[in-house]
Chain A
Amino acid sequence: MLEPSLEIEQIARNALRYSDGADAEVIATMSENAVTRFAENAISQNVSRQGLAITIRVVKGKCTARVTTSSIDPASLKQAFDKARTLVAFQKESADILPLPNPKPVQSISAYESTTAELRAEARAAAALKAISICKKKGLQAAGICSTGWGVVAVANTKGLLASHKDTTATFSVSVQTGDSSGWAEASHRDFGEINVDRLVAVALEKAEASRNARSIDPGPYAVVLEPAAVAEFLQFMGWYGFGGLGFVEERTFMAGQLGRRILGENITIHDDAFHPQQRGLPFDFEGLPRQPVTLIEKGVAKAVVHDRVTALRANSETTGHALPQPSVEGPMPLNLILAAGKSSVEEMIASTPRGILVTRFHYTNLVEPMKLVLTGMTRDGTFLIEKGKVASPLKNLRFTQSVIEALNEVELISRDQETMLADWGPGAYTVPALKIRRFNFSSGTEF
């Protein structure tokens, strides 16, 4: 068996042989992902899947079409190219369709741990059992996942471009339920051996125990201490609805027309950087061009958005190597966002708060208004009232409805420690500190 990167490169190169003289691009992906899921103190689902997908794209002048297949036999590949050529033939010319790019050097990122890639079900079950046995002894319920996997991707085109990358990922997530409360902790790393399962279980358990007999509090504006998982949600929505080049050139995001202006607090700096040590980024984009680190916000000032070649052309700028598969309805996206660390700690944030709310994480956050980035969502798995610099009591969960732009103008303290959280859906990772925000709006409450 070939080494995964070499195998995927070979598959991509081989697929291009069927282009029959057309300008063509191939994105080939291969992955194996296993998830051991536990709930109610037992393994409830336990799955593994291995998949391969080849997306070929034919470009003819200002026309293009994509065809994806999961088969790499010659007949399937030939059929895919035939289909793409047929679809291209039907098309009107589109101004946004550019010629395929020429190759550019791509810096590699080491993100593959063979021990994680080869981890068996028995080892994942053992990690789940750790959480289960600790909770069982205390009469509590554990739920969560232990997942491991590997993936390889190659982008190649008929102009000689060929880039590939392989990575592994492991996640352990645990919720502890007491009956009237819950606690949660999660960590992800490219190396399963770097995940401290015992510590995560201890954190979730401590939050669950501390959340028993939660009381209600009136909704309204409060000072908040947001742990990293909560802060990550902000970056996720900023990435989707603000830092991409398409919304920027169409003037429908909070970054539109703001470059060079201060839009966030002076203590806020946000980068996109696939090469950050806590990230596991892809070093090239889905056209195979090198992904560059981009400073999006520097000391509160809007500095840049990420571009692909299409939005760069419209913005009279250069691509930053953030293309999604072309053509893209969503436009370029930052997938490795980092909110710069500060000098504080969660403990110091609590100690400096006369009255406020400590939030572990948010649930089901969604966009209400794009220009001020108003989000709404619920707190979950550990919400606490802070009084006189101490955690005073657990609170029933609250709904927030708040502009992220306004909130990031009210940041008082930033932690020196950062955690990296994976996106709930789709690609993306967010390296974030905890934040203390002076004023944050909770709009309603719930029964638990």
Chain B
Amino acid sequence: MKSNSLTSIALSEAKRLGATYADIRLITKERESIIVRNGNIANMDSSTSEGFGVRVICRGAWGFAASSRVEESELRRVTALAVEIALASSTAKEKDVVLSPEPPAQETWLVPSVEDPFGVPVSEKLELLFAVDDILRKSPQIRVAESGMRFDREHRILATSEGTLADQRLLLSGAGYSATAVEGSEVQVRSYPNSFGGQYMALGYELVRGLPLLREAERVREEALALLSAKSCPRKKTTLILDGSQLALQIHESVGHPTELDRVLGMEANFAGTSFATLEKEGNFRYGSDIVNLYCDSTVPGGLATFGFDDDGVRAQRWYIVKNGIFVGYQTSREIAGLLGRPRSTGNCRAEDWSHIPIIRNGNLSLEPGDRNLNEMIAEVDDGIYMETNKSWSIDQKRLNFQFTCELGREIRGGKLQDLVKNPTYQSMTPAFWGSCDAIAGPAWWTLWGVVNCGKGQPGQVAAMSHGASPARFRDIQIGVSDEAS
């Protein structure tokens, strides 16, 4: 059956059963994943997942049901189940769900790309990965060399009872590698272009061709080896300069999640947690120093949360979360915007796939570049530390106390990068940290980094988004926590 027939069946069936609102998402997602590990192909995966999810409001409450069997009888069964679930929800509601207004739209949208990654021969991809692998494994102390690529393409059709029909084709490409060096009881890892798989963008294979994967492999290997004998991170309060990729995760954890309005209202209280960025702070709370400007942009080219419409059917937007250091905006859905009587959702409502209900997700939240030269930012530091590439992260359930460990640190002394530091760790509180930011590098250092492992919700969903950042400097930050403890 054609997709418009399938969506019509679900919407009309939902209406017949008493739904006051209904939507259906019909999704096909394909993924190709290749991993080369220590000279072997450790993963050669191709997957296709097709299914649909029906969301309804009955008696003022939500119900959602989903299935991988895309056929008429199953559509009717699942729609009836969504209605049954909504009626059960209505027995425990405080208020009727009211969706913020959004004009219906009938549009198609796709991620622009130059080269279809699924059309590039697997042999060519393997050739590049094995070449990287060869360089990484030139030292016997490199115990694990792992390089990989991942490509996703998704056809996402959203049809709502309000008349929206959004037909979108999304694309993700990613590539990267890591070298793990081992000597005795010391284990150190270096990654390129980023940890946890590399760099990911909403682009075609041109992303891979544009990354200097071969050129950087020797440096990555040598840095992993050098970290084995590097000095430990000193324990002190000092000046910290973070590279853009680490700052991207810092933005994600300490600005992105706390400004998801569902968290603020307690909807995630049992699992992911709540937020310190409560409603009365909007418009007046000092989140950072005057030079800190953070904005969400669902229209930015290459962003993993760039789309025509979110899963509420809300058109992509760009808006500020922090402006001149002041907290000015949230990330919302139609349900949560409606609950607070806001005129419009910011369009952050997204689901991992057909089997999950859309929830508020971090958008492409980025730190505006500053006007500084990174070399000058370092030259101005008598005593400090530079850290790059995330290794691990942790933050409290209101998103205040965080602690990050990076792959590599370098002492800064006398305005110059000096000795290598292993397991560099820093810890702070969110407003104090952003408030201590006194320099941000300019556009030449700014990169949009992809995050593909953001978990939220029950049942758990994984979402992808991007965060742009250039290196930034923070004063009087506690470093070296882990070393003392270990």
State whether A70 touches B68 (Cβ < 8 A). Answer: yes
State whether A132 touches B92 (Cβ < 8 A). Answer: yes
State whether A48 touches B486 (Cβ < 8 A). Answer: no
Which residues of chain A come closer than 8 Å to B400, judged between CB atoms? 446-448
State whether B122 touches A372 (Cβ < 8 A). Answer: no
CB proximity of A73 to chain B, nearest CB, Å: 10
State whether B269 touches A121 (Cβ < 8 A). Answer: no
Quick check: is A412 within 8 A (CB to CB) of the other chain?
no
Quick check: is B44 within 8 A (CB to CB) of the other chain?
yes
Type the 1/0 row for A50-71, where 1 means its CB is closer than 8 Å to any CB of B: 1111010000000111111111
State whether B396 touches A446 (Cβ < 8 A). Answer: yes
State whether B396 touches A364 (Cβ < 8 A). Answer: yes
Q: Is the interface of A mostly helix, strand, loop or mixed?
A: strand
Partner of B429, one of A126, A327, A441, A447: A447
State whether B46 touches A402 (Cβ < 8 A). Answer: no
Partner of A68, one of B45, B64, B65: B45
State whether A397 touches B396 (Cβ < 8 A). Answer: yes
State whether A66 touches B44 (Cβ < 8 A). Answer: yes
Segment 59-98 of A: residues with Cβ below 8 Å from B: 63-71, 76, 83-84, 87-88, 90-92, 94-97
State whether A52 touches B69 (Cβ < 8 A). Answer: yes
State whether A371 touches B396 (Cβ < 8 A). Answer: no
Quick check: is A230 within 8 A (CB to CB) of the other chain?
no
Quick check: is B6 within 8 A (CB to CB) of the other chain?
no
CB proximity of B14 to chain A, nearest CB, Å: 15
Which residues of chain A come closer than 8 Å to B42, judged between CB atoms? 94, 96, 327-329
Quick check: is A309 within 8 A (CB to CB) of the other chain?
no
In the docked arrangement, what's the CA distance between A92 and B481, Å? 45
A70-B397 contact given A40-B265, A49-B356, A51-B355, CB 8 Å threshold = no
Which residues of chain B come closer than 8 Å to A41, judged between CB atoms? 92, 94
Quick check: is A353 within 8 A (CB to CB) of the other chain?
no
Quick check: is B53 within 8 A (CB to CB) of the other chain?
yes
State whether B44 touches A175 (Cβ < 8 A). Answer: no
CB proximity of A241 to chain B, nearest CB, Å: 10
Which candidate, B178-186, B285-293, B295-303, B313-321, is the interface stretch facing chain A?
B178-186
Task: Give B82's nearest chain A residue, CB to CB.
Answer: A48
State whether A96 touches B267 (Cβ < 8 A). Answer: no
Type the 1/0 row for B388-408, where 1 means its CB is closer than 8 Å to any CB of A: 000111111110110101000
State whether A46 touches B62 (Cβ < 8 A). Answer: yes
Which residues of chain B come closer than 8 Å to A371, judged between CB atoms? 185-187
CB proximity of A256 to chain B, nearest CB, Å: 9
Task: Give A330's nearest chain B residue, CB to CB.
Answer: B42
Segment 251-269 of A: residues with Cβ below 8 Å from B: 251-252
A43-B427 contact given A251-B182, A328-B42, CB 8 Å threshold = no
Which candidate, B33-41, B108-116, B379-387, B444-452, is the interface stretch facing chain A?
B33-41
Which residues of chain A come closer than 8 Å to B486, judged between CB atoms? 368-369, 372, 374, 401, 403
Which residues of chain A come closer than 8 Å to B429, judged between CB atoms? 446-447
In the docked arrangement, what's the CA distance between A88 and B126, Å? 12
In the docked arrangement, what's the CA distance between A105 and B134, Å? 42
Type the 1/0 row for A166-180, where 1 means its CB is closer than 8 Å to any CB of B: 000000011101000
Which candidate, B163-171, B240-248, B455-463, is the interface stretch facing chain A?
B455-463
In the docked arrangement, what's the CA distance between A223 and B235, Å? 23
Question: Which range contains the number of A residues in contact with the other chain?
Answer: 35 or more
Which candidate, B83-91, B206-214, B324-332, is the interface stretch facing chain A?
B83-91
Task: Give A221's nearest chain B residue, CB to CB.
Answer: B485
Task: Give A66's nearest chain B residue, CB to CB.
Answer: B45
In the docked arrangement, what's the CA distance between A269 and B284, Å? 54
Segment 32-67 of B: residues with Cβ below 8 Å from A: 35, 37, 39-51, 53, 61-67
A184-B270 contact given A70-B68, A363-B397, A401-B403, CB 8 Å threshold = yes
Which residues of chain B come closer than 8 Å to A377, judged between CB atoms? 394
Type the 1/0 row for A217-239, where 1 means its CB is closer than 8 Å to any CB of B: 00000000000000000000000
Type the 1/0 row for B120-136, where 1 means its CB is closer than 8 Å to any CB of A: 01110010001000000
Partner of A69, one of B47, B95, B271, B391: B47
Quick check: is A211 within 8 A (CB to CB) of the other chain?
no
State whether A91 touches B126 (Cβ < 8 A). Answer: yes
State whether A43 touches B61 (Cβ < 8 A). Answer: yes
Task: Give A405's nearest chain B residue, CB to CB.
Answer: B486
Segment 1-44 of B: residues with Cβ below 8 Å from A: 35, 37, 39-44
Quick check: is B377 within 8 A (CB to CB) of the other chain?
no
CB proximity of B134 to chain A, nearest CB, Å: 12
State whether A46 touches B270 (Cβ < 8 A). Answer: no
State whether B121 touches A45 (Cβ < 8 A). Answer: no
Quick check: is A39 within 8 A (CB to CB) of the other chain?
yes
Which residues of chain B come closer than 8 Å to A380, judged between CB atoms? 273, 396-397
Quick check: is B223 within 8 A (CB to CB) of the other chain?
no
CB proximity of A432 to chain B, nearest CB, Å: 20
A443-B266 contact given A87-B44, A378-B394, CB 8 Å threshold = no
State whether A68 touches B67 (Cβ < 8 A). Answer: no
Which residues of chain B come closer than 8 Å to A389, judged between CB atoms? none
State whether A68 touches B47 (Cβ < 8 A). Answer: yes
In the docked arrangement, what's the CA distance between A252 and B48, Å? 34
Partner of A70, one of B51, B270, B356: B51
State whether A443 touches B85 (Cβ < 8 A). Answer: no
State whether A175 touches B41 (Cβ < 8 A). Answer: no
Quick check: is A145 within 8 A (CB to CB) of the other chain?
yes
State whether B485 touches A448 (Cβ < 8 A). Answer: no
CB proximity of A250 to chain B, nearest CB, Å: 5
Quick check: is B359 within 8 A (CB to CB) of the other chain?
yes
State whether A50 touches B67 (Cβ < 8 A). Answer: yes
State whether A376 touches B88 (Cβ < 8 A). Answer: no
State whether A365 touches B394 (Cβ < 8 A). Answer: yes
Quick check: is A36 within 8 A (CB to CB) of the other chain?
yes
Which residues of chain A come closer than 8 Å to B403, judged between CB atoms? 376, 399, 401, 443-444
State whether B357 touches A448 (Cβ < 8 A). Answer: no
Quick check: is A125 within 8 A (CB to CB) of the other chain?
yes
CB proximity of B401 to chain A, nearest CB, Å: 4
In the docked arrangement, what's the CA distance between A55 and B33, Å? 14
Segment 1-42 of A: residues with Cβ below 8 Å from B: 33-42
Which residues of chain A come closer than 8 Å to B187, judged between CB atoms? 252, 369-371
Quick check: is B268 within 8 A (CB to CB) of the other chain?
yes
In the docked arrangement, what's the CA distance between A162 and B273, Å? 43
Quick check: is A274 within 8 A (CB to CB) of the other chain?
no
State whether B458 touches A35 (Cβ < 8 A). Answer: yes
State whether B68 touches A38 (Cβ < 8 A). Answer: no
CB proximity of B53 to chain A, nearest CB, Å: 7
Segment 402-448 of A: residues with Cβ below 8 Å from B: 402-403, 424-425, 441, 443-448
CB proximity of A39 to chain B, nearest CB, Å: 5
Task: Give A441's nearest chain B residue, CB to CB.
Answer: B485
In the docked arrangement, what's the CA distance between A252 and B88, Å? 50
Quick check: is B436 within 8 A (CB to CB) of the other chain?
no
24 example contacts (A-B, Cβ-Cβ < 8 A) are as follows: A35-B458, A46-B63, A47-B356, A51-B67, A69-B49, A87-B44, A90-B122, A90-B123, A95-B40, A173-B270, A175-B270, A182-B269, A184-B270, A364-B395, A366-B392, A369-B187, A378-B401, A380-B397, A399-B394, A401-B486, A441-B485, A443-B427, A447-B398, A447-B429
Chain A interface residues toward B at CB < 8 A: 33-53, 55, 63-71, 76, 83-84, 87-88, 90-92, 94-97, 120-122, 124-126, 128-129, 132, 141, 143-145, 147, 173-175, 177, 182, 184, 250-252, 327-329, 363-372, 374, 376-378, 380, 397, 399, 401-403, 424-425, 441, 443-448
* Known contacts A68-B48, A425-B455; 11 further A-B pairs (Cβ under 8 A): A43-B89, A47-B356, A51-B67, A53-B68, A70-B51, A328-B42, A368-B485, A376-B392, A376-B482, A378-B395, A448-B398
Closest 7 CB pairs of A and B: A68-B47, A94-B40, A121-B88, A143-B269, A401-B485, A446-B401, A125-B88
